[in-house]
């Protein structure tokens, strides 16, 4: 599946397929000796080695090798790009180490100079073992499985000496269709250069562009501009051509803001009805073939959702492109789950989360579907010592993109010290299921309304005045095929009743800007670690569908609620995004 941006003059070599494979459990990744390896297996790329027959559920180093032959007319500068791997890796080209990768789920790229025609060898070593310093964002207790392997495509691309690095398109005036282009250049960049620019396939305009700090900034008024909305996700393209390089970037015209306790899309109140979604499959792990990804999103739309919280790491580019096309709003967030104060104070944690968050924002800047940036899910935001890191993350995001809303999901709302830093106050609540637990004589369902009402009162605090409130997680587990007429816990009936009440209460209270159910499908979780009784089969079973996407009773119950038209009963206005 082709994603944007598209560099139409660069002839990329897609390296996906079967690679030679070796397995090592004895060495430290940093001390791995390539000369001792025996490549006596084969492995798929993209693919994960810990769902396969030979190394199922194992932790160690998987080493991938591929030999590549380049033709005589190959460019001397080549870019090796790995869409994502996990948990950390080392990469070699012709036995010369290019570098390391220590950000799971993030894109890695290396520019290789002086490449000649002929045969070359690529080796990628991937370690899925947990260490405090090397994998600070992914502790072993995280409630999603830490897969080992190469999650996304690998490619080799020739680079021209003068090249376009990225084009940022920002909406300046929605009504008039005015946009600003920031064209970032790389390589041998002159002070000025001739360019052709064309929007939506129209005839191109020739300009002499002036460059400052390797960037060209232009403003343009669209001739046929239409806003991007969930109901009508209209998309535009811009093509920028110069001698030796060309880029096509897709974008949408829309605005998003938080004002007077509401989230406004294009100036209209927005009510979010959504689900949390991992990248997960029992056999493929985080690898997301286009067929599965499209089916997942169509199933989410079939439920009546207009919003997806993409947890708990940056998702594949294809996901955001499809959400742009389908009109699904997105919260995207960087990796972290449940880190406590001691972990947040580690310099390795700080460096990793800042780097991944900035990269996530840079790569998401042209997606109209992305309306919220998030980070540090359920971490120690209740500690004074955490305020600096949360502040630095917010400032780093706004320095790159100040056009979207910022939030993080807190499970500590009563004592949270960081809510004032963000645009939207977001909370994860599991009354009666996780915390607070139901009292004797009180069912889980009966606890939902008083809990939500108590937390909604946060909006009355003077320091949070005007900030929208969002339920980013709420739900309960149900085992597919488990039925009980008394609604016993873990039955489909219990889960359906719990989620129905959660949606009823949240959507009836205009203090909430929306609800995001945990979660869309069952996902692999930790195995034989910690409180294993809460992870039957080694899965988080809170999905509205199971891991093979088979709907539970809750699916149809929620679909009926989400497809109802929602009104702001205080003003008589219809909410946006039905």
Residues 202 and 346 occupy one common structural domain: no
Which SS3 state, helix, strand or coil, does residue 424 take? coil
Q: Average pLDDT per run of 10 along the chain, which is 578 residues long?
A: 90 97 95 94 97 94 97 92 97 97 97 96 97 86 95 97 96 96 96 95 93 96 94 97 96 97 96 97 95 97 97 98 98 97 95 97 98 98 97 98 97 96 97 77 88 93 95 97 94 97 95 97 86 84 97 97 63 36
pLDDT at 437 (0 to 100): 72
Q: What's the rounded Cα separation, in Å, for the pair 249 and 367?
A: 10
Q: Are 562 and 304 in contact (CB under 8 A)?
A: yes
Q: What's the rounded Cα separation, in Å, for the pair 155 and 9?
A: 15
pLDDT at 210 (0 to 100): 95
pLDDT at 526 (0 to 100): 85
Please report, for the domain that includes residue 142, its CATH number.
2.60.120.260
Residues 501 and 399 occupy one common structural domain: yes
Q: In the β-sheet with 329-333, what is the strand arrangement from edge to edge?
A: 405-406, 370-374, 329-333, 307-310, 272-277, 512-517, 469-473, 425-428, 409-410
Is residue 435 in some structural domain?
yes
Is residue 234 in some structural domain?
yes
Q: What's the rounded Cα separation, in Å, for the pair 407 and 412?
A: 14
Please report, for the domain that includes residue 190, its CATH number.
2.60.40.10
The sign of the dihedral angle between the CA atoms of 152, 154, 157, 159 is positive
Q: Are 286 and 48 in contact (CB under 8 A)?
A: yes
Of the candidates 130, 132, 136, the residue with the CA atom closest to the CA atom of residue 349: 136
Q: How far is CA 309 from CA 68, 278, 409, in A?
A: 39, 9, 10
CB atoms within 10 A of CB 114: 7
DSSP 7: -
Q: How far is CA 322 from CA 116, 165, 212, 377, 384, in A?
A: 37, 23, 34, 24, 40
C-alpha count within 13 angstroms, C-beta hemisphere, residue 552:
32
**Encoding tokens for residue 485?**
């007429």
Residues 352 and 245 occupy one common structural domain: no
Residues 287 and 369 occupy one common structural domain: yes
Residues 172 and 287 occupy one common structural domain: no
CB atoms within 10 A of CB 575: 20
Q: What residues contact residue 565 under an 8 Å CB cut-off, 6+ apart?
A: 574, 578
Is residue 2 in some structural domain?
no
CB atoms within 10 A of CB 471: 27
- Domain edge (last residue) among 134, 158, 182: 158
Q: How far is CA 522 from CA 105, 281, 306, in A?
A: 20, 9, 20
Residues 138 and 179 occupy one common structural domain: no
Is residue 113 in some structural domain?
yes
pLDDT at 1 (0 to 100): 66
Residues 526 and 564 occupy one common structural domain: yes
Which structural domain range is residue 146 located in? 13-158
Q: What's the rounded Cα separation, in Å, for the pair 421 and 345?
A: 19
Residues 125 and 234 occupy one common structural domain: no
- Domain edge (last residue) among 107, 129, 158: 158
Q: Are 73 and 116 in contact (CB under 8 A)?
A: no
Is residue 286 in some structural domain?
yes
Is residue 185 in some structural domain?
yes
Residues 242 and 139 occupy one common structural domain: no
pLDDT at 2 (0 to 100): 73
Question: What is the number of structural domains in the chain?
Answer: 3
Residues 66 and 114 occupy one common structural domain: yes
Of the candidates 184, 187, 245, the residue with the CA atom closest to the CA atom of residue 211: 184
Residues 340 and 364 occupy one common structural domain: yes
DSSP 454: H
pLDDT at 574 (0 to 100): 35
Q: What's the rounded Cα separation, in Å, for the pair 194 and 30?
A: 46
- What is the maximum span of the chain, computed from C-alpha positions, in angstroms? 78
DSSP 439: P
pLDDT at 569 (0 to 100): 36
Is residue 5 in some structural domain?
no
Q: Distance between alpha carbon 54 and the CA centroid of its chain, in Å?
A: 30
Residues 154 and 167 occupy one common structural domain: no
- Domain edge (last residue) among 158, 176, 199: 158
Please report, for the domain that includes residue 304, its CATH number.
3.20.20.80
pLDDT at 528 (0 to 100): 74
């Amino acid at each position: 599946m082709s994603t944007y941006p598209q560099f139409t003059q660069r002839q990329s070599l897609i390296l996906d397929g079967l690679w030679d494979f070796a397995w090592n459990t004895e060495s430290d990744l940093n001390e791995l000796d390539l000369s001792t390896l025996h490549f006596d297996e084969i492995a798929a790329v993209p693919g994960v080695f810990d769902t396969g027959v030979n190394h199922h559920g194992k932790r160690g180093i998987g080493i991938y090798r591929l030999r590549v032959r380049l033709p005589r007319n190959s460019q001397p500068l080549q870019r090796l790009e790995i869409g994502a791997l996990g948990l950390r890796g080392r990469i070699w080209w012709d036995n010369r180490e290019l570098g390391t990768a220590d950000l799971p789920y993030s894109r890695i790229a290396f520019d290789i100079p002086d490449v000649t025609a002929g045969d070359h060898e690529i080796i990628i070593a991937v370690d899925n073992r947990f260490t405090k310093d090397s994998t600070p964002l992914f502790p072993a207790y995280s409630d999603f499985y830490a897969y080992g392997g190469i999650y996304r495509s690998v490619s080799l691309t020739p680079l021209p000496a003068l090249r376009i690095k990225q084009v940022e398109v920002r909406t300046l005036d929605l009504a008039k269709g005015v946009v600003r282009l920031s064209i970032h250049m790389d390589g041998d960049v002159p002070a000025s250069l001739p360019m052709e620019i064309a929007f939506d396939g129209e005839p191109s305009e020739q300009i002499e562009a002036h460059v400052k700090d390797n960037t060209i900034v232009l403003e343009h008024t669209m001739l046929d501009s239409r806003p991007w909305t969930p109901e009508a996700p209209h998309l535009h393209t811009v093509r920028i051509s110069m001698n030796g390089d060309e880029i096509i970037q897709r974008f949408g015209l829309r605005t998003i803001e938080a004002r007077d306790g509401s989230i406004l899309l294009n100036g209209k109140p927005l009510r979010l009805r959504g689900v949390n979604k991992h990248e997960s499959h029992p056999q493929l792990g985080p690898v997301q073939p286009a067929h599965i990804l499209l089916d997942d999103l169509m199933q989410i739309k079939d439920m009546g959702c207009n919003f997806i919280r993409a947890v708990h790491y940056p998702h594949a580019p294809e996901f955001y492109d499809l959400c742009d096309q389908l009109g699904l709003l997105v919260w995207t967030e960087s990796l972290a789950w449940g880190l406590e104060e001691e972990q947040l104070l580690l310099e390795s944690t700080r460096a990793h989360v800042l780097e991944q968050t900035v990269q996530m924002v840079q790569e998401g800047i042209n997606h109209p579907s992305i309306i919220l940036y998030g980070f540090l899910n359920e971490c120690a935001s209740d500690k004074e010592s955490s305020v600096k890191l949360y502040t630095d993350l917010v400032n780093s995001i706004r320095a790159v993109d100040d056009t979207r809303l910022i939030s993080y999901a807190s499970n500590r709302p009563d004592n949270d010290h960081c809510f004032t830093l963000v645009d939207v106050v977001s909370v994860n609540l599991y009354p009666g299921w996780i915390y607070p637990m139901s009292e004797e004589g009180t069912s889980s369902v009966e606890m939902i309304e008083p809990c939500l009402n108590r937390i909604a009162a946060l909006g009355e605090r003077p320091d949070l005045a005007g900030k929208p409130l969002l339920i980013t997680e709420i739900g309960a587990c149900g085992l597919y095929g488990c039925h009980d007429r008394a609604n016993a816990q873990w039955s489909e009936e219990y889960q359906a009743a719990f989620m129905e009440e959660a949606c009823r209460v949240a959507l009836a209270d205009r203090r909430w800007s929306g609800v995001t159910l945990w979660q869309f499908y069952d996902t692999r979780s930790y195995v034989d670690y910690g409180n294993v009784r809460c992870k039957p089969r080694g899965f988080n079973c809170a999905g509205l569908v199971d891991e093979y996407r088979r709907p539970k009773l809750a699916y149809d119950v929620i679909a009926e609620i989400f497809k109802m038209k929602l009104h702001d009963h205080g003003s008589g206005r219809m909410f946006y995004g039905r």
